[in-house]
């Protein structure tokens, strides 16, 4: 088979990637709370990600931020009253909800949450939530309140019941509050809420799975100030961790030294050396059902790390550095009995490896798959993708080759996750 593989740089420069919320219509509901100021930024973020946004505000919300601001940001007139005459049938509470792919209440005050729970409907926002078709229009809630209000059994009871009634709780942040106290109950930051809304719309193809991912380079110390590492940014592995979480999996990410932000909902374990990465993986592999090794693990480490900085010798000769081989983490995991089980066998661990090559991708990826003893190996051109936000992947298994065309790393990660999910259930 002849396989042509290259990333056309000109094409990659001009390629337009699809935003995550393209085609989605969000009704953004604001109830009264100081966190309304964050709703302005959330509105922008949703629109930037491709959504159309219709803002509905309670009377109390309009005390904190003006409908003018929200209209300017959303590009649509804001609705605040159930008596609004702009709708032909005068039924804003029905019409607005019917058009939505989701209603996001941000901020959701303690009072508004209590109102929702009781099915009260004495203003447009609560009326619209009650009138929404529960099976078709999801309701996402981003609470915002003082820490005592948040911790109060009434609030916690109300939230538990709201979730039982089908609403999705987006959680709260912790920290300094406008009232001067510190604790839980802050509304999540706009970018966190955006990630949660985007995640909500992803198909839950990995629900019930526990995915362990390695990412980034490793750093092998030579002395206290120098070491051996590589150019891996960790972006691909972090994108896979995010995509797996979006797909409903419980995800642990073992990360080498990188400065990437931790994806929402992902448990992150920071390590430095290959040996630390191996220990962190082996401690958690027993619970995993999928292992994705994207880390660019250093092949060798200095046989001994000097206790103090190695000084230049007066002879002018460079120091002699003896190297020793690092453990092959993927290779060791792939040898575990659970990794040898076949599709459908109970307790199976599905292993996926990566190959960063500079040429002859298909040949090198196939050879590496056999050498590592894993069912799926993903090839990519290292120099073309290190540090970039985009990539192209080649999925190689025992019988087939599948190309995932040039795209953002997150889009590719989602495609890879969907591919893994199919293999788990094949
Ligand atoms: O052996 P090589 O580095 O080419 O293999 C790459 C694959 O093996 C990647 O999935 C990488 O994360 C994994 N690997 C590993 N431990 C090593 C070397 C590579 O897990 N010591």
Q: What is the pLDDT of residues 294-304, one digit of tens each?
A: 999 999 999 99
User: Do residues 54 and 26 make contact, with C-beta atoms less than 8 angstroms apart?
Assistant: yes
Distance 148 CA to ligand 1 centre (A): 49
Distance 425 CA to ligand 1 centre (A): 26
The phi and psi torsions of 226 (rounded to 5 degrees) equal -130, 160
Q: Where are the alpha helices (DSSP H) in 301-406?
A: 329-335, 361-372, 382-385
Q: What is the pLDDT of residues 93-115, one digit of tens each?
A: 999 999 999 999 999 999 999 99
301 Cβ inside 6 Å of ligand 1: no
Q: What is the pLDDT of residues 167-213, one digit of tens each?
A: 999 999 999 988 899 999 999 999 999 999 999 999 999 999 999 99
CATH superfamily of 25-201: Flavin prenyltransferase-like (3.40.50.1950)
Is 210-298+325-425 the same fold as 25-201?
yes
d(CA 3, CA 396): 12
Query: What fold, for 210-298+325-425?
Result: Rossmann fold (3.40.50)
Cα-based distances in Å from 26 to 96, 97, 201: 10, 9, 12
Pocket test for ligand 1, best of 277, 292, 293 (most atoms within 8 A of CB): 293
d(CA 103, CA 141): 8
d(CA 127, CA 120): 7
d(CA 108, CA 159): 11
Strands 102-108 and 25-30, by their bridges, are: parallel
d(CA 375, CA 425): 14
What pTM was computed for the model? Answer: 0.93
Residue 295 Cα: closest atom of ligand 1: 12
Closest CA to 321 of 422, 398, 221: 221
User: What percent of the chain is predicted at pLDDT more than 90?
Assistant: 90
The phi and psi torsions of 24 (rounded to 5 degrees) equal -90, 140
- Cβ atoms within 10 A of the Cβ of 164, count? 8
Asked if pLDDT for residue 16 goes beyond 90, the answer is no
97 Cβ inside 6 Å of ligand 1: no
User: Do residues 145 and 138 make contact, with C-beta atoms less than 8 angstroms apart?
Assistant: no
Q: What is the pLDDT of residues 35-49, one digit of tens each?
A: 999 999 999 999 999
Which one of 36, 43, 129, 179 is the catalytic residue? 179
Q: What is the pLDDT of residues 203-249, one digit of tens each?
A: 999 999 999 999 999 999 999 999 999 999 999 999 999 999 999 99
In the numeric block, the tokens 């005459």 are attached to 85
382 Cβ inside 6 Å of ligand 1: no
Domain boundaries, the chain: 25-201, 210-298+325-425
d(CA 80, CA 93): 10
């Amino acid at each position: 088979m002849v396989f042509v593989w290259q990333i056309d740089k000109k094409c990659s420069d001009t390629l337009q990637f699809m935003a995550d919320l393209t085609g989605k219509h969000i009704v953004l509901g604001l109830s009264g709370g100081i966190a309304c100021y964050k709703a302005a930024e959330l509105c922008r973020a949703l629109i930037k990600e491709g959504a159309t946004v219709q803002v509905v505000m309670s009377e109390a919300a309009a005390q904190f931020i003006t409908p003018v601001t929200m209209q300017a940001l959303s590009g649509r007139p804001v609705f605040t009253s159930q008596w609004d005459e702009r709708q032909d049938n005068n039924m804003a509470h029905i019409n607005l909800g019917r058009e939505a792919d989701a209603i996001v209440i941000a901020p959701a005050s303690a009072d508004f949450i209590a109102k929702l729970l009781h099915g009260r409907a004495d203003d447009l926002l609560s009326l619209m939530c009650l009138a929404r078709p529960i099976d078709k229009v999801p309701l996402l809630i981003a609470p915002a309140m003082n820490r005592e209000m948040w911790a109060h059994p009434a609030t916690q009871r109300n939230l538990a019941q709201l979730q039982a009634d089908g609403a999705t709780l987006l959680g709260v942040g912790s920290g300094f509050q406008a009232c001067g106290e510190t604790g839980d109950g802050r509304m999540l930051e706009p970018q966190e809420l955006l990630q949660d809304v985007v995640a909500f719309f992803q198909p839950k193809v990995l629900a019930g799975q526990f995915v362990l991912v390695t990412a980034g380079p490793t750093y092998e110390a030579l002395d206290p100030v120098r070491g051996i590492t590589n150019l891996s940014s960790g972006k691909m592995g972090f994108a896979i961790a995010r995509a797996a979480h979006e797909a409903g999996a419980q995800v642990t990410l073992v990360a080498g030294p990188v400065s990437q932000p931790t994806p929402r909902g992902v448990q992150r374990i920071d390590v430095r050396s290959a040996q630390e990465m191996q220990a962190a993986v082996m401690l958690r592999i027993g619970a995993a059902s999928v292992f994705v090794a994207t880390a660019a693990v250093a092949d060798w480490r200095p046989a001994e790390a000097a206790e103090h900085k190695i000084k230049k010798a007066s002879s002018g000769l460079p120091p002699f550095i003896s190297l020793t081989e690092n453990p092959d983490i993927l290779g060791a995991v792939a040898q575990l009995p659970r990794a040898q089980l076949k599709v459908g066998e109970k307790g199976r661990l599905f292993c996926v490896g990566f190959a960063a090559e500079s040429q002859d991708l298909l040949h090198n990826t196939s050879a590496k798959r056999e050498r590592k003893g894993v069912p799926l190996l993903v090839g990519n051109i290292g120099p073309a993708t290190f540090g970039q936000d985009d990539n192209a992947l080649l999925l190689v298994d025992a019988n087939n080759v599948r190309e995932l065309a040039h795209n953002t790393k997150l889009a590719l990660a989602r495609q890879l996750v969907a591919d893994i999910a199919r293999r788990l259930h094949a």
